[in-house]
Structure 1
Amino acid sequence: MSLERRISLITLGVADVARSSDFYARLGWTKSSASNDDITFIQLKGTALGLFSRASLAEDAKVENTPSGFSGVTLAYNVSSEIGVDAVVKFVISCGATLVKAPEKVSWGGYSGYVADPDGHLWEIAFNPFFPQDEHGHVVLPD
């Protein structure tokens, strides 16, 4: 057996579902009708995003809810140019994100910056000249 190379749903554990839902709505991301007061679902291209209480998510997974420190996870939003990175970072900050690292040229040959959503989830906004995007904005990795 092997698994298909896909992720169906990314769920972020958040402190306040309504506050986080409002932040992602300001980005222009629409809440699905499958959402309720306890969880928000947002259809993305090829996957979905869930916003769920961090405490409830930890309880569901039967793990301790320890909010301190770096989680070891970042989410990425790739664009097709350095100018695009700057524009997206500026927009996301205007929607309520916090700048973590200003966009800059990076050692691997691209250009990126980091922002945090209201719960501190890190988003890398990046231009990677080695990962072109298809007509739908999906990253195309080399074979």
Structure 2
Amino acid sequence: MKDARICLVTLAVDDLERAAAFYEALGWTRTTAGNETVVFMQGERMVLSLFGRKDLAADVGTSVKGSAAPYPNVALAINMASEKEVDRLFDKAVAAGASAVKSPEPTFWGGYSGYFSDPDGHLWELAHNPFFRLTRRGHVDLLKTPE
């Protein structure tokens, strides 16, 4: 089971400094690791890597291509303990430069969520799922029943 984890998520960005400032405004901590092509942001249990779009393409061995999809094919999510916390972080993200995609609202599945895109177009969902157990540190734990 110890291999069933994500340790780092890399996002391709157009402007490293702008992206780093955005995520710092949301509570991520910029680390001293990195260089002129990549910035590492420490989160609670994982690292967010911000990689210059062209530099990431070169690292992968491909070229930068446009997307035909009207929205990104991946959405990252942060689960919150309450609807109020979803609203707070959504407002904070928009104030830091995010674009509101869908304002937080009750969902068909019994929760509450909204979407924003970061300055580089990466889609984030902020959600309160009353059926998910959050640990004291705010991590989702689907292996234990809610207390």
Q: Same fold (TM over 0.5)?
A: yes
Quote the offset at 1:66 in angstroms.
1.9
Residue pair 2:102, 2:115 contacting (<8 A) in 1 also: yes
**In 2, Cα distance between equivalents of 1:110 and 1:3:** 30
Equivalent residues in 2 for 1:81-100 (5 A)? 81-100=82-101
| Same amino acid, percent of matched pairs | 45
Quote the offset at 1:3 in angstroms.
6.8
- The aligned residue for residue 128 of structure 2 is 127
List alignment gaps of at least 5 residues for structure 2.
Answer: none
* SS of corresponding position for 1:102: strand
- The aligned residue for residue 27 of structure 2 is 28
Which letter does structure 1 place at the counterpart of 2:91? K
Q: Deviations over 1:4-42 (max 9, x none)?
A: 110121000001111111111222322101122221101
**In 2, Cα distance between equivalents of 1:56 and 1:80:** 37
Coordinate RMSD, CA, aligned: 1.6
**In 2, Cα distance between equivalents of 1:44 and 1:29:** 5
How many residues align? The count is: 142
List alignment gaps of at least 5 residues for structure 1.
Answer: none
Residue pair 1:131, 1:142 contacting (<8 A) in 2 also: no
TM-score using structure 1 length: 0.91
Report the more deviating stretch, 90-99 or 30-39: 30-39
TM-score using structure 2 length: 0.89
**In 2, Cα distance between equivalents of 1:4 and 1:74:** 22
